[in-house]
Amino acid sequence: MAYKTFVDRIIKEKNVQHEAEVLHQKKLVLENIKAQEEERKRIAVMIHDDMGNRLNILSLWLNNLDTKGDELIKKNINGQMSALIDSARTISHSLYPVNLESVGLVLYIEELIANLSNRVNISLHVASHYKKKDIFIEVQLYRIIQEFTTNVIKHSEATKIWIYLKDYSKITALVVSDNGQGFDYNLVKKGMGIKNIESRIKSINAIHKWKNVSGKRSRLIIKIPCNNEFQD
């Protein structure tokens, strides 16, 4: 009896140690992602606010510049300035969704869809009672959608992507799927795209499942606890 009690105590202590290690690893992942997001945000804001504004001012100045009738020069300069402004905006958005907090997740996803409309058909379905989440969670959800769509465009030859976002009583569900070639998870799980997606899912304490059909589709289902708030 005493021996069994001793063994049970050892097992219990090992379980406690394992749980503590898992929590520690989760904390490290969360801190790492937060640090990355802060650095991305700092650079993105610099590009968006400083470089973007300077380019806009320069563009206005060039529009008022007297080129003595040389419209070709003015047209070329304006074309280059427009391209630079678009490039600055694209780089800023790819680094960090600068305006997501003020605009909201749904509108930001719609902007992403508009930017990709010439490359793939994307439909977004959001339940009418969807409620705004903690900004960290919404940034991660946006990043996951962004990463998924980027991978689809690069690798799957899909013509359509579906995004579903809905609040339930205890969870928020995000489902992203496409009609592309699909993939074997065991063969590609070490790729940076999948790693980035799953790290972000882990950082918001969500659970997920890939439901892929080779040659037909890839589908990612994510469930986030509704009380999932993060403390520093």
117-128 confidence digits (pLDDT tens): 899 999 999 998
| Predicted pLDDT at 67 | 56
Residue 9 lies in a domain: yes
Higher pLDDT, 185 or 73: 185
120 and 209 belong to one structural domain: yes
Q: Provide the 8-state DSSP code for 191.
A: S
Q: Is 118 exposed, middle or buried (0-12, 13-18, 19+ CB in 10 A)?
A: exposed
40 and 70 belong to one structural domain: yes
* Mean pLDDT score, 85-98: 74
86 and 132 belong to one structural domain: no
79 and 114 belong to one structural domain: no
HSE, CB side, 13 Å, CA atoms: give it for residue 64: 5
Mean pLDDT value across the chain? 80
Residue 167 lies in a domain: yes
87 and 159 belong to one structural domain: no
109 and 91 belong to one structural domain: no
25-54 confidence digits (pLDDT tens): 666 666 777 767 777 777 766 676 667 677
The residue segments making up the domain with residue 211 are 104-225
* Mean pLDDT score, 189-199: 77
Q: How many angstroms separate the CA atoms of 56 and 17, rounded?
A: 56
54-64 confidence digits (pLDDT tens): 777 777 776 66
| Predicted pLDDT at 7 | 58
Residue 178 pLDDT > 70: yes
198-210 confidence digits (pLDDT tens): 888 988 989 999 9
Rounded (10°) angle between helices 192-203 and 135-151: 160
| Predicted pLDDT at 124 | 96
Report yes or no: 86 and 38 within 8 Å, Cβ to Cβ.
Answer: no
State the total domains in the chain: 2
Residue 232 lies in a domain: no
